[in-house]
Homo-oligomer: A and B are copies of this chain.
Amino acid sequence: MIYTITLNPTIDRLLFLEGTLTKGKNNRLRKVAYDIGGKGHHGSYAMNQSGVKNQALGFSGTINASKLEKILSDKGINYDFVEVYGKPTRESYVILEEKVGGSILITEKGFNITDYDIGLLFEKIEHKVQREDMVLIAGSVPPGFDLHDLENLLKQLKKIGCFIACDLSGEALKKAVEIGVDFIKPNQFEVQELIPSDGNFLEPIKELSKKIKYVIVSLGKDGSVCSHAGEVHQVSAPTVELVNDTGAGDCFVGTFLASLSLSKSLAECLSLASACAANQVQYNDSTTFNIKDARKLQKEVTVKKLS
């Protein structure tokens, strides 16, 4: 079983404009749609496509609970949240202009988490997570959930002895490295922040992998680099037409962990993850991909041992 933990989930409200956004006029909308937000939920969606059982954990507000639940159910995501009474799950506004690539993103902060709420999450984890399980913690942390709380969460999981994957950034990523987890996915800049080096890219990755079983560094359209068991592998990304690359990293992580849980070889895990992410960027939302099409793309992916 895999558990994904999204500490600061969001509901993505997609605003499809007529024309382009202009100040001083009434910008009319063609349509409004909703999509799942929160990196953990995207990870869960990807795991589902690989047919791997998983459950999304985290905090949700009761005020708009039915809206979040409908979006997750529509995407087939199994969840069990700590419900925080009288608060709304935050929304992100994704403004999509007509005939213009990319999007304008506006995000709410999210409601304040109390120690009581955090206690309820820890209790849930205590009852659910087993030694043989995997846990993915992904995305930003909400107000009220500080580094000390993250440390306690990681220590609780280490005590259980499960596989811990963290798709975090900034101070939260540093904390995960300090405590020692099984999987991280920093980008190039984050690697430099974690272990400063004079331009040598591989040394800090090797250094990180002394402590962390799987270190995957995403390089966007140039693919990724994975360090594991003393070896570094370069993974290519299939060339595709980019429509919207939001969520591609989450798709990669979800697919990688799903394959790993099925005891696939490292090369298989990496190439399928790279192919699924490449398939996902061809859709205009930040979730959807087709695993059958991805399996065709997978044949184009090369996994090359660097050292």
Q: Which residues of A contact B (CB under 8 A)?
A: 15, 17, 21, 23-29, 32, 93, 95, 102, 104-109
CA A17 – CA B23 in complex, angstroms? 15
Q: Tell me whether A106 and B29 are in contact in the complex, defined as CB-CB below 8 angstroms, given that A15-B93, A93-B15, A93-B93 are known contacts.
A: yes
CA A25 – CA B24 in complex, angstroms? 22
CB neighbours of A107 from chain B (8 A): 26-29
The answer to whether B23 touches A106, judged by C-beta atoms less than 8 angstroms apart, is: no
With both chains docked as a complex, state the minimum distance between the C-beta of A247 and any C-beta of chain B, in angstroms.
Answer: 14
With both chains docked as a complex, state the minimum distance between the C-beta of A108 and any C-beta of chain B, in angstroms.
Answer: 5
Closest 4 A-B residue pairs measured CB to CB?
A27-B106, A23-B104, A29-B108, A26-B105
A21 nearest CB neighbor, chain B only: B104
CA A29 – CA B25 in complex, angstroms? 22
CA A20 – CA B108 in complex, angstroms? 15
Partner of A108, one of B23, B32, B102, B105: B32
CA A106 – CA B93 in complex, angstroms? 11
CA A15 – CA B28 in complex, angstroms? 17
Partner of A109, one of B24, B29, B106, B109: B29
